[in-house]
Amino acid sequence: MKIGITCYPTYGGSGVVATELGKALAQRGHEIHFISYSLPFRLQHYHERIFFHEVEMVTYPLLEHPPYAITLAAKMSEVGAQVGLDLFHVHYAIPHAVSAFLARAILGQGRPRIITTLHGTDITLVGNDRSLFPMTRFALEQSDGVTCVSRYLQGKTREVFDTHRPLVVIPNFVDTRRFTPEARPHLRDHLAPHGERILAHLSNFRPVKRVPDAVRVFAQVRARLAAKLVLIGDGQDGPLALHVARCLGVERDVIFLGKQDDVESLLAIADLILLPSEEEAFGLAALEAMSCAVPVVATRVGGLPEVVEDGKNGFLLPPGDVEGMARACLGLLADPERHGEFRTAARQRAVSHFDTSLIVPQYESYYQEIARG
């Protein structure tokens, strides 16, 4: 098939999923056209059958805010006509599903078909905002197919938009041959030169991720044993996280790496990953860590319980329960045998439930179903 994929190209789970999906589909013989304002960050190298179409921002003094949704729609219709796309697969409803609707209207033949994949905050925060609610709802109703990354998000979408349209759950996935437990002793020695335990956190550092809680949990762990906290990613709450680290006197043991491409190497050297989010439709960072055999200490919110099995490959606690999360970390780190069992179980779960080879065919079948109408 010829598939146009639109996503946010910067660091963020929805862009990662869209890019990895495009790469996997191209490997399976499909022709993939990414349409976005810049090259998705995990698409830096050349891949056969993958093309990138840049949406250029229109600037003019009158246009204080460049009308991205419209220029995106124009580019989508142009690519759709030029290459004869079968499908627009848009990731994150706002504004991508609206742009797809406009592009299809311009092309005027009910084609390409539109599939919208919902990722979380497009429903729980952004699309739920009163000013965007009617537009998000309209775009969902106009999509030929809608997928959600978890059962939780499926339920939430039904509840928020009071919609009866079919919503198919296709969970996120991970390339378990790339995200492996393979030892990287040099990297470990570099970040924890005295054999300290390594706790990691990976996110876009938005308030919903509660990154300062990760630092608070770490401070309690650090009070009992030698450890380092490796922060991967950056965003609004980066400075606040560092401030909390300073206030708690652990700043020397908090390593703020910022945005990184090679997350698989960094995750693989961690003993635990901390995800104290307020809300998480799926928790891709948890899955990527699990694939590297890293147990997860996270919050029992959203779709995380569909990924992490409490007491088996991680621990799930209420948001804000810093003491509980610190206790869970200390308990596991103090018991090497149990830690080893959790590591094995984490890897097994990623391989047996969420490997690329299990999930991408689900998208392919769905594409065929939608293309048949």
Nearest to 146 by CA among 109, 119, 112, 106: 119
Question: Which of these segments, 103-111, 200-208, 336-344, 360-368, binds ligand GMT (CB under 6 A)?
Answer: 200-208
- The secondary element (H helix, E strand) that includes residue 169 is strand 168-169
Question: Which of these segments, 218-226, 279-287, 308-316, 329-337, binds ligand GMT (CB under 6 A)?
Answer: 279-287
Structure tokens at 130: 């009163």
Q: In angstroms, what is the minimal distance from the CB of 199 to ligand GMT?
A: 20
Query: If you search the block for the tokens 């030169």, which residue do you land on?
Result: 193
Choose between 282 and 315: whose C-beta lies nearer to ligand GMT: 282
Q: Which residues pair with residue 2 across a beta bridge?
A: 31
Answer yes or no: are the C-beta atoms of 271 and 296 closer than 8 Å: no
Answer yes or no: are the C-beta atoms of 5 and 21 closer than 8 Å: yes
Q: Please report whether residue 280 would count as binding ligand GMT according to CB under 6 A.
A: yes
Q: Please report whether residue 204 would count as binding ligand GMT according to CB under 6 A.
A: yes
Choose between 271 and 306: whose C-beta lies nearer to ligand GMT: 306
Cβ atoms < 10 Å from Cβ of 329: 25
Choose between 253 and 306: whose C-beta lies nearer to ligand GMT: 306
Question: Which of these segments, 212-220, 226-234, 265-273, 275-283, binds ligand GMT (CB under 6 A)?
Answer: 275-283
Q: In angstroms, what is the minimal distance from the CB of 108 to ligand GMT?
A: 31
Q: In angstroms, what is the minimal distance from the CB of 325 to ligand GMT?
A: 18
Structure tokens at 103: 């592009």
Choose between 77 and 154: whose C-beta lies nearer to ligand GMT: 154
Mark 85-104 with x for binding to ligand GMT (rule: CB under 6 A) and - for no binding: -------x------------
Contact with ligand GMT (CB under 6 A) among 3, 6, 9, 14: 14
Residue 179 CA to residue 182 CA, distance in Å, equals: 9
The helix/strand/coil state of 170 is coil
User: CA 108, 114, 116: angle at the middle one, nearest 5?
Assistant: 150
Nearest to 76 by CA among 19, 25, 130, 114: 114
Tell me the H-state helices in 170-270.
185-191, 211-222, 238-247, 263-268
Residue 202 CA to residue 317 CA, distance in Å, equals: 18
Structure tokens at 204: 């876009």
Q: In angstroms, what is the minimal distance from the CB of 189 to ligand GMT?
A: 31
Q: In angstroms, what is the minimal distance from the CB of 148 to ligand GMT?
A: 9
Q: In angstroms, what is the minimal distance from the CB of 55 to ligand GMT?
A: 18
Positions in 129-148 near ligand GMT (CB under 6 A): none
Q: Please report whether residue 120 would count as binding ligand GMT according to CB under 6 A.
A: yes
The helix/strand/coil state of 33 is strand
Choose between 123 and 370: whose C-beta lies nearer to ligand GMT: 123
Rounded-to-10 torsion of CA 157, 161, 166, 169: -10
Contact with ligand GMT (CB under 6 A) among 121, 147, 291, 313: 121
Query: If you search the block for the tokens 């989508």, which residue do you land on?
Result: 76
Q: In angstroms, what is the minimal distance from the CB of 147 to ligand GMT?
A: 10
The helix/strand/coil state of 367 is helix
Question: Which of these segments, 34-42, 204-212, 313-321, 359-367, binds ligand GMT (CB under 6 A)?
Answer: 204-212
Query: If you search the block for the tokens 């022709």, which residue do you land on?
Result: 31
Contact with ligand GMT (CB under 6 A) among 137, 206, 339, 353: 206
Contact with ligand GMT (CB under 6 A) among 23, 30, 119, 349: 119
Can you give the binding site for ligand GMT, defined by CB under 6 A? 8, 12-14, 17, 92, 119-121, 149, 172, 204, 206, 208, 279-284
